[in-house]
A and B are shown apart, each in its own frame.
Chain A
């Protein structure tokens, strides 16, 4: 597998806060890599360093085959970056925004490209509407259209679907997969587990450190987490009793069911033994990605504490 992003030992501090610590990040060419982690874990900072918006304190490697620190300008030309917050001009029309981006990238056939982008978006007849008047879902689609206008090879998306309704999210991801099928490499940060499962690969970062990497199955397998699932009336209420018992790493209600996880099978089974009675039905289950992430989060040292 060739790597579109292959960066090692990335570090960044703001004042005395070490926001990104020795992060290695690899993204396979043409793959969609989900970038996950709790709030304040350094995802945005890492993305900004990759696209040259922030200067890393240390770290080396290649983005699209170029030394990402020395050839930041060349990397920028082939990278599309979509910010967390809508960052097109709200007081410019949709068409004017796209035209501006096209000009800044010195694109040829500007009119044709902008017209095509509008057509693809389905905003052809609303082209003169101000970008600020669009709904959240439309803003996000427009932002995506703006950052692929210059036909980049790498797309960096920073929580692109935050605050967008499920239908718009589904459509957005269909678009991402379509782009990926055309050969585009995507690194996308998100908090949504369903989105993480839509990615080819996952990188999990917590408190500045990379904790896990691989496909969703690999990440789950490597976590060494064993999960039991309890069903039956009141099963979800057991979480308080079970949490904190030896061998229980976490106990979390999922609807009416309860997931109890641990890394030591014997200890975990001992902990749940008293509750193996009516009306509860216990079964060993697969830990979900969310179980694994919450587990990883608990493991990682919070360097902000």
Chain B
């Protein structure tokens, strides 16, 4: 073997650097990726969320009830955002996802504490995502021993008799805190985005890159016909994937299917069409398949991290939640989880379905506006 030439290595090395800086998108990715990840993981993502919205139904207006609520808020986990007048109202707040927890303090709470009757307060949690609630529920378990310390003094003090009340916890929608219940519906959104956005953007860009679009555009075929013809097969791909994930989720992990078929179907269709339109939009911007791939990645990364798929949505700071709200996957996850785990219908899930509709319309309009029927 003849020796390695430092000159030749240097030649290849400098050539590589020059090419790297010519490809702006790759360059941006090299710099943006660590920055974005660092900021997201450092600031936005929090697997032990605090200040979770809580609705209360207080049927007792005695001092003990007030102290208990104050202690709950003092734990840092619960933030009382609503006061319900009836149990039905309370239930609705939880079902629609307005709050993470509901707390019911019964009518004779203070009186029974004084009588050493061990009353119960009820905490119901939206445990669809077990990570979001576990910290708060652990804190609630320690509540009875501490909450009323300052109230039970003097004549009311009772050394050695155990906590003055009990906390009963109901984990709704996922009583056994099985994370698959939350992950599988979420996976549906992530997998659909990954395959559909990427496949369409690559599929269309490939026609330009290989030059076949030039031949195609020289024929009488109309642009809209190309678009429909190219995208329709992927609608089927999306539906097959959906069926596969839901069937396997049910068969392998017992993921509940509580109904909500109407909302689920509508949500899946909207999301598939929106993802395809987005892929098409990317293909009108990208000049090569590599660029299309990178752009798809820029979309998919926040979809995984900020949508509530991997980390609790409510654990993120306001700015991250604001970004998350713009991401279609976030709304899709709400629809799928709402439908599968809570059995919600179109009537209850309309805010998220509406957001998905806006996504479909906006992206399709942009894609059509960008799509060129000629090579200009």
Interface residues of A, Cβ cutoff 8 Å to B: 48, 51-55, 73, 76-77, 79, 81, 83, 85-90, 101, 104-106, 146
| Inter-chain pairs besides A89-B212, A104-B221, 19 sampled, C-beta below 8 Å | A48-B375, A51-B218, A53-B374, A53-B375, A54-B374, A54-B375, A76-B219, A77-B220, A81-B218, A83-B211, A83-B218, A86-B211, A87-B211, A87-B215, A88-B215, A101-B219, A104-B219, A104-B220, A106-B220
Q: Which residues of B contact A48 (CB under 8 A)?
A: 375
Chain B residue with Cβ nearest A158: B214
Residue with the highest number of chain A CB atoms closer than 10 Å, among B218, B374, B376: B218
Residue B217 CB within 8 A of the other chain: yes
Complex interface bits, B206-249 against A, C-beta within 8 A gives 1, otherwise 0: 00001110111111110000000000000000000000000000
Chain A residue with Cβ nearest B218: A81
Chain B residue with Cβ nearest A76: B220
Least Cβ–Cβ distance between A26 and chain B, in angstroms: 22
Could you name 12 residue pairs across A and B whose Cβ atoms are closer than 8 Å?
A51-B218, A53-B217, A53-B374, A54-B375, A73-B220, A83-B214, A85-B214, A87-B210, A87-B214, A104-B216, A104-B219, A105-B220
Q: Which residues of A contact B376 (CB under 8 A)?
A: 54-55
Interface residues of B, Cβ cutoff 8 Å to A: 210-212, 214-221, 374-376
Q: Which residues of B contact A53 (CB under 8 A)?
A: 214, 217-218, 374-375
Q: Which residues of A contact B210 (CB under 8 A)?
A: 87, 90
Q: Which residues of B contact A88 (CB under 8 A)?
A: 212, 215
Q: Please list the 7 inter-chain residue pairs (A to B) with the smallest Cβ-Cβ separation, ordered nearest first.
A: A87-B215, A81-B218, A87-B211, A85-B211, A104-B219, A104-B221, A87-B212
Q: Which residues of B contact A90 (CB under 8 A)?
A: 210
Interface of A is mostly: loop
Least Cβ–Cβ distance between B222 and chain A, in angstroms: 9
Residue with the highest number of chain B CB atoms closer than 10 Å, among A76, A104, A106, A146: A104
Q: Which residues of A contact B216 (CB under 8 A)?
A: 104
Q: How far is the CA of A129 from the CA of B105 in the complex (A)?
A: 76
Chain B residue with Cβ nearest A92: B212
Q: How far is the CA of A77 from the CA of B374 in the complex (A)?
A: 16
Q: How far is the CA of A51 from the CA of B210 in the complex (A)?
A: 20
Q: How far is the CA of A101 from the CA of B212 in the complex (A)?
A: 12
Q: How far is the CA of A32 from the CA of B218 in the complex (A)?
A: 21
Partner of B215, one of A52, A73, A79, A81: A81
Q: Which residues of A contact B219 (CB under 8 A)?
A: 76, 101, 104-105
Q: Which residues of B contact A106 (CB under 8 A)?
A: 220
Q: Which residues of A contact B374 (CB under 8 A)?
A: 52-55
Least Cβ–Cβ distance between B286 and chain A, in angstroms: 19
Residue with the highest number of chain A CB atoms closer than 10 Å, among B214, B215, B216: B215
Q: How far is the CA of A90 from the CA of B210 in the complex (A)?
A: 9
Least Cβ–Cβ distance between A300 and chain B, in angstroms: 26
Q: Which residues of B contact A52 (CB under 8 A)?
A: 218, 374
Q: How far is the CA of A51 from the CA of B375 in the complex (A)?
A: 11
Least Cβ–Cβ distance between A202 and chain B, in angstroms: 24
Q: Which residues of B contact A51 (CB under 8 A)?
A: 218
Least Cβ–Cβ distance between A58 and chain B, in angstroms: 14
Q: Which residues of B contact A81 (CB under 8 A)?
A: 215, 218
Q: Which residues of A contact B215 (CB under 8 A)?
A: 81, 83, 87-88, 146
Q: Which residues of A contact B220 (CB under 8 A)?
A: 73, 76-77, 104-106
Chain A residue with Cβ nearest B219: A104
Chain B residue with Cβ nearest A150: B219
